[in-house]
Structure 1
Amino acid sequence: MPTDVTEVSKPPAQVPPPLVPGLRGLLTLAVGVVLIAALYFGREVFIPLVLAVLLSFVLAPVVNLLRRIKLGRVPSVIAAVLLALAVIGGIGAVIGTQVAGLAGNLPQYQATVQKKFAGLQQGWLGEANKVIQKFSHEVHDATQKADAAGTSAATGPSGDTPKAQLVRIQDPEISPLALAEKLLGPVFEPLTTVGIVLVVVVFLLLQREDLRNRMIRLFGSSDLHRTTVAMDDAAGRLGTYFLAQLGMNAAFGVIVGVGLWIIGVPNPLLWGVFSALMRFVPYIGAFISGILPVALAAAVDPGWSMVIATAALFLIAEPIFGQVIEPLLYGHSTGLSPFAVIVSTLFWGFLWGPIGLILATPFTVCLVVLGRHVDSLEFFDVLLGDRPPLTPVENFYQRMLAGDPDEVREVAEGMLKDRSLSSYYDEVALKGLQLAANDFARGVVTPAQLENIRSSARSLVEDFEGHDDVEPTVDAKAVNPSDTPTLAERAHTKTEAVPGQAPSRDDLPEAWRGEAPVLCLAGRGPLDEASSAMLAQLLRKHGLGARVTPYQSASRDGIRDLDLSGVAMVCISYLDITGNPSHLRYLLERLKRRAPGIPVLVGLWPTGEKVLTDATLGREVGADAYVSSLRDAVDACLKVAAGSSPEKGSPTLVRAA
């Protein structure tokens, strides 16, 4: 008889498919491609509008100045635009007259260049030229032989080849309208662009407040504060950049023009204006502007002294302006990294040509400002901004994980210039150690990496043994109150509170006069001993002796041998404690039986939403005091040392770091 067999259904073995971009990512990519294509194909429309917007930023201070002297809105705008038109027209007239004069002297310059090259050909350049010509002739002869062999094979033994026919191409007669278009087109097009820009500038300056309110209503009516701050930040950065850059470039052009006049290079006014305009192109614009003056100096001077002096003028002036004067005057006003400037210059130069080279920095500034105020666009600030991409906590953990205590100390010393040591330990070091402890609990940190973190933490504490825990003196003038913190900086605020100082040894109670009246007992976590070492160091800096002991010394087997001589208080440190804290409760029971008269403080260093949870745990374990920061742990020990013992059963609850 057939036997019924009950088969157990099992899910089929599946291989997870590879990750592919989601719908949102694809839509974002598509929108980005469409925007770039629109900017490229619509550049004839966008370039005048963008130039008008940027010119309005430059003319806005002039309009405000004229309005302060009671000139009125419309007359102030018209006067500012006429002033800009006069400046643009003057620059164009100077360039035109200088170019015309230069063109008239070109035959003379050509003769000088020919004589100079003739002299060079008699020297080493001539020898090199002979070698190149010989090589070229050999290549040419070999090519002719190969062509002859191919021709004979194609035409056969008779060698008949078709005769070449003379073809004459005659240009059609140009009509008067086409001739006028050919002559006036190159002039009419720039004039049209200038006219459009000036008309748009007039309306932008007349309706600034109305356009601002419309932008706020369109993009940020739900958060007026953030939108207003973002717009003010963008306007301030762009205005500062353009005014400072305009002044610096004008000064650079004046110095170049005067220097070329002293050297004797013809048309120094033309090259001064050209250098000032080219310097709007970051990094390379000033050096590119020096190519033509150097070439002209070579064409004018039969010798080489003028060429050397002209090249030295540009090679000395630009580094002084770029590396010394600009940082002193307005520093990093744009907030861009050098890499972002280079990439944006290449990108906008590809899209819009020479105009894009000039507009690259302002556009990138706008993107960085958006990234600093809009959460979903923060990647612009990370990629293009000049501020550190990692938070201090993330940087601390990353360097600890890599076993690089030197860089950790370097970053810490920079932070200690505007915060106390206890503030740094609470807000950076402890949180970084918590990240490491959490990753170790998840199994992503290897034992070797954990040992790197331990040794780096010990080294860091030892390095700051001689650093006092005091609030540093910060120059208020060096702090920009309008500077907008990053999203990471807003998540990790700075606390300035510093613990007090213990009274003199003679004023302390007898139990607190020993070498180490505070015993800092580490929890059973892998990095709790590091937090105990930080607490012990801060206690010593505030006048209370302290020593660190590992968790094993207070275990069930080690509690009998725990040295409590001279101990007036025990501080237990936990970076993290989750679940049922029974082991902490049993540890406190062992300590109470071993030393019933010694108060015990439990430090749980919570973050964010864990504050209330850890506070509840502190009550459950029955400690004499509970704190959530090293700062408050030092304050609690100082209070106990002064004689104000915390009431048992009422833990001292303080805010988290």
Structure 2
Amino acid sequence: MSSSQDSGFNHLAIPLWGLFIISLMSVLYLAKSVFIPVFLATLMALLLSPLVALLRKFYIPRALGSAIILLVVSTLIGVLLNYLAVPAGVWLERIPAEIHQIEKKLSPFRASIETVQQTAETVEEMTSMDTGEEQAPDVVVKGPNIFYTLLDGTQALLINSLSFVVLLYFMLVSGHSLTKKVGLLFRDKGYRTNVVKVTNDVQHKISRYLLLITGINIVLGAIVAIVMWLTGMPTPIVWGASAAFFNFIPYVGPAINIGIVTLVSLLTFDQLPQILLPPALLLALNLLEGQFIQPLFIGRMFTINPVIIFLFVLIWGWLWGMAGIFMAVPLLV
């Protein structure tokens, strides 16, 4: 009797796990306004907690040290954004406005592109031939007023930002004691010690990973800025910052950045070798960083299959948008 019950439970295990995963993803999607600040604050706390511990060695209290770290980091981010906002805004306006120049420089490839377009149009006409049936009229549903949409978005951004800052501060101040409090939930002393040890080890490894990957991306951004300046690209600091920013997204981020640099290079230069040089050098730097530098410093500590990373980025991007894309790899780690 017991063996038949066990086999019945085994058959139900996969459907139950499937229902659990679907329910979990539904909760994460519907409550993303709550979970995104919590997860972001947790990752930032793991990144900044070594700096708070360093200040603690100089007899600076954690509350004061956390406030100092938050103030310094916020100031640096604000100064950087203020410096990059103007040139980045210029390029965001210029690229769509001067798209005809890009088409003109790509005119040697235009014939083949037009052939493909004509073929696609022919196929579309063949598949959408009139069958004699009347088409249903289109129904247009008016959305909310743009004023209310912007107001709701601004309110959500302010609330999420405030929640993120407050959570981050309290995690930096008292996050170190949370592990001990979790360990106290277990009565067995040996099991409690193992839980605390494993938790501390996980926190240490994730903090190390975040610090290393942030440092590598900053160095990569500086090198890219220098290389873009040597090749004659305008606003090279912008492309260095974008290289560091997009490199937090494995595979997809560097590809997006190379595409942006290629568009800017098309607008800037006239000769084909000059056009191809900046994106080619950027691709070489990304390959060098991804295949040699990152494995050298991070080692085999976080060796993960690229397919799993890509799927994880897609899933978290679908759940939480851009925030999920940036948090995908640290959450997987």
**Which bin holds the TM-score, normalised by the shorter protein?**
0.7 to 0.9
> 1:243 offset after TM fit, Å?
0.2
Q: Which residue number in structure 2 is paired with residue 628 of structure 1?
A: none
2:263 aligned residue (289, 292, 295): 295
Q: Which residue number in structure 2 is paired with residue 490 of structure 1?
A: none
Structure 1 residue 125 corresponds to structure 2 residue 110: yes
**TM-score between both structures, scaled by the size of structure 1:** 0.44
Q: Structure 1 counterpart of 2:175, which letter?
A: R
Q: Secondary structure of 1:207's match?
A: helix
> Partners of 1:285 and 1:58 in 2: how far apart?
21
Gaps of 5+ in 2: 135-139
Q: Which residue number in structure 2 is paired with residue 328 of structure 1?
A: 296
* 1:369-413 Cα shifts (integer Å, max 9, x gaps): xxxxxxxxxxxxxxxxxxxxxxxxxxxxxxxxxxxxxxxxxxxxx
- Which moves more between the two structures, 354-363 or 106-115? 106-115
> 1:100 offset after TM fit, Å?
2.2
1:108-147 → structure 2 map (5 Å cutoff): 109-117=98-106, 120=107, 123=108, 125-126=110-111, 128=112, 131=115, 147=130
> Partners of 1:344 and 1:107 in 2: how far apart?
32
Q: Which residue number in structure 1 is paired with residue 175 of structure 2?
A: 208
Q: Is the 8 A contact 2:102 2:263 kept in 1?
A: no
> Partners of 1:108 and 1:27 in 2: how far apart?
53
Q: Which residue number in structure 1 is paired with residue 211 of structure 2?
A: 243
Change beyond 3 A, Cα 1:303–1:58: same
* 1:109-153 Cα shifts (integer Å, max 9, x gaps): 345324324xx2xx5633x36655765787799899x65x959xx
Structure 1 residue 55 corresponds to structure 2 residue 23: no
> Partners of 1:287 and 1:192 in 2: how far apart?
33
Q: Secondary structure of 1:218's match?
A: coil
* 1:181-211 Cα shifts (integer Å, max 9, x gaps): 5556555543432222111011111112432
2:89 aligned residue (95, 100, 111): 100
Q: Secondary structure of 1:77's match?
A: helix
Change beyond 3 A, Cα 1:311–1:103: closer
Change beyond 3 A, Cα 1:33–1:217: farther
Q: Is the 8 A contact 1:58 1:239 kept in 2?
A: yes
> Partners of 1:39 and 1:138 in 2: how far apart?
44
Aligned residues: 321
Higher normalized contact order (CA 8 Å, seq sep 6+, divided by chain length): 2
Change beyond 3 A, Cα 1:82–1:219: farther
* 1:236-294 Cα shifts (integer Å, max 9, x gaps): 11011000000011111112222222222233222222221211112332222211111
> 1:23 offset after TM fit, Å?
7.7
Q: Secondary structure of 2:98's match?
A: helix
Change beyond 3 A, Cα 1:231–1:260: same
1:22-421 → structure 2 map (5 Å cutoff): 22=10, 25=13, 27-103=16-92, 105-106=94-95, 109-117=98-106, 120=107, 123=108, 125-126=110-111, 128=112, 131=115, 147=130, 150=132, 179=147, 181-183=148-150, 186=153, 189-218=156-185, 222=189, 223-365=191-333
Q: Is the 8 A contact 1:98 1:269 kept in 2?
A: no
> Partners of 1:86 and 1:249 in 2: how far apart?
20
> Partners of 1:211 and 1:264 in 2: how far apart?
51
Q: Is the 8 A contact 1:102 1:267 kept in 2?
A: no
Gaps of 5+ in 1: 1-15, 155-168, 366-657
1:403-442 → structure 2 map (5 Å cutoff): none
Q: Structure 1 counterpart of 2:159, which letter?
A: T
Q: Secondary structure of 1:332's match?
A: coil
Change beyond 3 A, Cα 1:221–1:248: farther
Q: Secondary structure of 1:334's match?
A: coil
Q: Structure 1 counterpart of 2:277, which letter?
A: A
Larger Rg: 1
RMSD between aligned alpha carbons? 3.5
> 1:326 offset after TM fit, Å?
1.6
